[in-house]
Structure 1
Amino acid sequence: MKTALVTGANRGIGFETSKQLAALGYFVYLGCRDKVKGLEAIKKLKALGYSNVDCIELDITNIHSIKSAKQELENKTKQLDVLINNAGISGGFPQPSLKVSIETLKEVFESNFFGPIQIIQAFIELLKKSTAPRIVNVSTELSSLTKHGDPTWKFYSVKPSAYGPSKTALNAYTVMLAFELKDTNFKVNCVCPGFTATEFNNYSGEKTVEQGTSAIIKYATIENDGPTGKFFNEDGEIAW
C-alpha cells in the first residue's frame, strides 16, 4: 500500500486531501500540530469507513517536532510515496506593503516557506525509498507575479504583502528542488486549490473543499511521464 503524509491535515483542504487519498487506497498520515484535533480528524475519517489513516503530531515551524515526527513515521513505514505540504497561515488580511509588520512577515514566512523546506529535508530519505515519489507544495494564485501585473485579473486588487511573497518564495524553491531531482522519479510541483471556502478564509471562498482538492490529488498521483517543477491549478499551468 502506498503511503502519504499531509501537513495541516485536521481541517479544510488538508483534511479533504487526506480523505481523497485514503479513498484511492493510500495509507495516509495526517500531520497535525494539535494532536487532539488530529485524533478528532482520524475519528471522523474512520466513521466514514477509512481505516487506512493515522495521526502524527507535527508542527512544521518546530524542528524538534519535525524530528520527532520523522522518527515516528520511520517506525511506522519503510517508505513515503507522497508528501503534501499543505500547512500554512495567511497572517491576516489586509497586508498593505507600507504597514505590514516585520513580525507578521517573519511569522508567515516561517510557516509558508521555511516550514515546508524543513519538512522536505526531514522526510526526503523516506521519499527516496519510493519508486514514484511525489511532492506537492500547496500554493496560491496570489503568488503569481505575472497575474499581479495583469489589471484584468479578477484578484488584481488583492495584494497581501506577507502571504503572497511567502508563496512566491515557495514556488521558487520548488523549481530549484525539481531541478535537483530531475534525474530521478520524483515529481515536485506547486498546486493552487483556488479560492476555496475553508476556515482559512472564514469560508468566503468560491469553491468547495472537494473542488479545491481535485488538482492537489491530480499532481500527487501523476505518472512518471508527468510534469515536474511547474505551477498548476485545476485549469492547467499557471504563470509564475
Structure 2
Amino acid sequence: MTKIALVTGGNKGIGFETVRQLAEQKIKVLMGARNETEGKKAEEVLRAQSLDVTFVKLDISDSQDIENAKTYIESEYGKLDILINNAAVFLDSAWFGNNVETAPMKTLRDTFDINYFGTVELTQALLPLIKKSDAGRIVNISSVSGSFGVHLDENHWLYQLKPYAYSASKTALNQFTVFLANALKETKVKVNAANPGWVQTSIGSDQAPLTPAQGAETGVALALIDENGPTGTFSQAGESLPW
C-alpha cells in the first residue's frame, strides 16, 4: 500500500526538497503551503518530474486550514503515514547578538504561532490518522538554536548567535518532541526532531554552507526509519545533538 506523507511549508527551501526526496521514494506526498499560488507552482515543478505530489492549502496558524486538511486526508486516504512539521518563520531582527532584553512581544507571539502552536495543533489534529498507519512517523524540523546544551557551550560556533524568539520556539518544539514520543511509546508511531543544519534558505541566508537538498536529508531519513529506528531523539545526519 502506498505511503502517504504531509510536509508543511513544502513549497520552498528545505520543505520543497523534503517533498521531492520523499516522492522519489514512491511516497504520495501532500505539499502543505499557505500561499496557494506558490504552492501550485511548486506542485507543477515536481509533477513535471513525474513525482506524485499534491498541493494542500495549509496555513498552520489557521485552525480552519488545519481542520480542512484533516478532513481531506481522512476522506481521500483514511490514514497518514508521515508528518514532517517543517513550516517555520524567523522574525527576530538578526541572528547575531542576544535580543532577549528587547525582543518585542509581537515577534515572540507571531513566531510561536507558527513554530510551536501551529505545529502542535496540526499534529494533535492528525494523530488519529497517523495512528492508523502501520508505521507512523512524525518528524519535527527543529534547530540547534533551540538547544540548551549548545547555548551553554562557549566553544560552540552558535554561542554568539542568540535570536530569542526563534530559539525559544525551537526549544519548545524540542520539548513537544520528547513528550509526544513518550506519550506514543507503546504505539508504532515514532517521533523525532531533526536539525537540518545551516542551510541556504530565507532563514539561513545564502551564506550557509548547506544546500536545501542537503538540509532535507536528516528529516527524510527519520521519516523512513524502520521499526527498529529511534524515537524521542534530536539529531543531524545520524549524530545525536544535545537538548
For normalisation by structure 2, the TM-score amounts to 0.96
Q: Does 1:160 align with 2:157?
A: no
Contact persistence 1:96–1:161 (CA under 8 A): yes
Contact persistence 2:92–2:103 (CA under 8 A): no
Q: Does 1:177 align with 2:154?
A: no
* Structure 1 stretches lacking a partner, 5+ long: none
Aligned residues with identical type, % of pairs: 39
Aligned to 2:212: 209
Aligned to 1:13: 14
Per-residue CA distance 1:44-74 (angstroms, 9 max, x = gap) = 0012221x11011001001011111111222
SS of match in other structure, 1:224: coil
**Cα drift, residue 206 of structure 1:** 1.2
Contact persistence 1:198–1:204 (CA under 8 A): no
**Cα drift, residue 225 of structure 1:** 1.1
Aligned to 1:55: 55
Q: Distance in 1 between matches of 2:242 and 2:46?
A: 36
SS of match in other structure, 1:201: coil
Q: Distance in 1 between matches of 2:22 and 2:150?
A: 31
Q: Distance in 2 between matches of 1:14 and 1:130?
A: 22
Q: Distance in 1 between matches of 2:77 and 2:141?
A: 24
Flag the 1:168–1:159 CA change in 2: closer, same or farther, 3 A.
same
Matches within 5 A, 1:57-136: 57-94=57-94, 96-136=99-139
Contact persistence 1:196–1:207 (CA under 8 A): yes
Q: Distance in 1 between matches of 2:238 and 2:27?
A: 25
Per-residue CA distance 1:179-236 (angstroms, 9 max, x = gap) = 0000011110000000000123332321011111111111011011111111011151
Computed over aligned residues only, the root mean square deviation of the Cα atoms, in angstroms, reads: 1.0
Q: Distance in 1 between matches of 2:218 and 2:242?
A: 16
Aligned to 2:191: 188
Contact persistence 2:199–2:205 (CA under 8 A): no
Q: Distance in 2 between matches of 1:140 and 1:152?
A: 18
Contact persistence 2:92–2:165 (CA under 8 A): no
Q: Distance in 1 between matches of 2:70 and 2:135?
A: 20
SS of match in other structure, 2:210: coil
SS of match in other structure, 1:126: helix
Q: Distance in 1 between matches of 2:205 and 2:48?
A: 26
SS of match in other structure, 1:200: coil
**Cα drift, residue 155 of structure 1:** 1.3
Q: Does 1:27 align with 2:37?
A: no
SS of match in other structure, 1:162: helix
**Stretch moving more, 184-193 or 194-203:** 194-203
